[in-house]
Structure 1
Amino acid sequence: MNPQTPTHTVEFTQRFPATRKCAQLARLLAVHALDGWGIAVGTGPSDAAAQIVAELAANAVTHAKVPGREFELRLSRTADTLRIEVSDARAECAPVPRNPGVDAESGRGLFLIEVLASSWGTKERVVGKTVWADIGLAQVLGQN
C-alpha cells in the first residue's frame, strides 16, 4: 500500500463568496489538497477533479448565486474514492444535462462531469442543494 493512501477518510472543506474568481480559487485549492493526499498534480484523477470542481463551482456562482450567500466546496477521500461536493443556496436550480446544440458556447459542463465521474447527483440541504461527483481511484492509482 502507498504510504500516502488513506486508510480512513480525509476531508477538505472551504466556503467561498459566490464570485467567478472564487470559483477559480476553489479549483486551485482542490488540486493543492489532492496533491497533499497523494493525487499528484497533472495526473488523470487530479485533472478530472480540477475539471469537475471548475464546472460545479462555475454553476454555483453563475446559476445558483444568492446575494449574500456563499458556496461550499467539500472534498473527501477514502482509499478508493474521491468525492467532490459543491453546495449552494438555490435548491430550485437542480442541474440537468441538456443538449446545448452544436454552436452553443456553454451548456456542456454536466456532460463532462458524466464522462469524468464514476457517478454524480444532487442532494437537498436545509438551505439549497449539494451537487456531488465521485471519482474511482483504486484502478487509476494502481491500488489493490
Structure 2
Amino acid sequence: MTALQAQPSVTARVFVQRCSATRLGATLARRLVVWKLDTWGFPYGTRLSDDVALLVAELAANAVLHGRVPGRDFELRLVYAHGTGVVRIEVSDTHERWPELSAVEQPDADADGGRGLLIVEAVAARWGVSDRVGPGKTVWAETGPAGAAAEGAR
C-alpha cells in the first residue's frame, strides 16, 4: 500500500457511561452494555453478548473493589469497530494503584476472590492497563472479531 492509497474505513460505535463506584454501579454497567449491544444488532444470549457482559462484570467489580476512591465514579466505555469486528471494553477509575499483570495466577482453591483477572485473561482476546487523562488508570479488554461470535446464540 502506498501513501496515496486510502486505508479501509472503520465505522465505530461508542457508548460511554459513568457509574457509581458501588456494587449497584457495577451491576448497572453490565446490564447497560448488554442492552447497548442488543441495540447494535448483537442479541442477548449470543456468545459476544455473554462474553462482553462477563468482561464488564469483572472489570467493573475490580474498579469498585480495588480502584474505588471515595466520591469518585468509574467510567465505562464500549467501542465496537465494525470494520474489524472487535469490541473493546474500557473501565477507568481514579485510583493510582495498577493491577500487576505479570502476577495474574490461580488463587488458593478456598480463596473467596482473586479470579477476576484470570477470567478476563481467559475470555478476552487481548487486555491490559493504560494511562488515562487525570488520576488513575484504564483497564481494557478486547474480544476477537464479532462476526463469528455473534452468529449464534448459545
Superposition TM-score, scaled by structure 1 size:
0.89
User: Which residue of structure 2 lines up, in the alignment, with residue 101 of structure 1?
Assistant: 108
Runs of 4+ aligned residues of structure 1 deviating over 3 Å after TM superposition are none
- The structural deviation recorded for 1:103 is 1.2
RMSD over aligned CA atoms reads 1.3
Q: CA deviation at 1:93?
A: 3.2
CA displacement, residues 60-112 of structure 1 (integer Å, 9 cap, x when unaligned): 01111001111000000012100000000013132542321111121111111
| Shift, 1:140, TM fit | 2.1
CA contact (8 A) 2:63 2:91 kept: yes
- Quick check: 1:81 aligned with 2:86? yes
Code of the residue aligned with 1:138 in structure 2: it is G
Is the CA contact (8 Å cut-off) linking 1:119 and 1:135 kept in structure 2?
A: yes
Give yes or no for contact 1:72–1:87 (8 Å, CA) kept in 2. Answer: yes
Deviations 1:9-49 (A, max 9, x none): 00000001111111000000010001111111101110010
Structure 2: where are the runs of 5+ without partners? 1-9
For residues 116 and 99 of structure 1, what CA distance do their matches in structure 2 show?
A: 15
- Long gaps (5+) in structure 1: 1-6
Larger Rg: 2
Amino acid of the structure 2 residue aligned with 1:91: E
Report the TM-score, using the length of structure 2 for normalisation. Answer: 0.84
Tell me how many residue pairs correspond in the alignment: 136
Matching residue within 124, 132, 138 for 2:147: 138
* Residues 91 and 124, structure 1, Cα contact 8 Å, conserved in 2: no
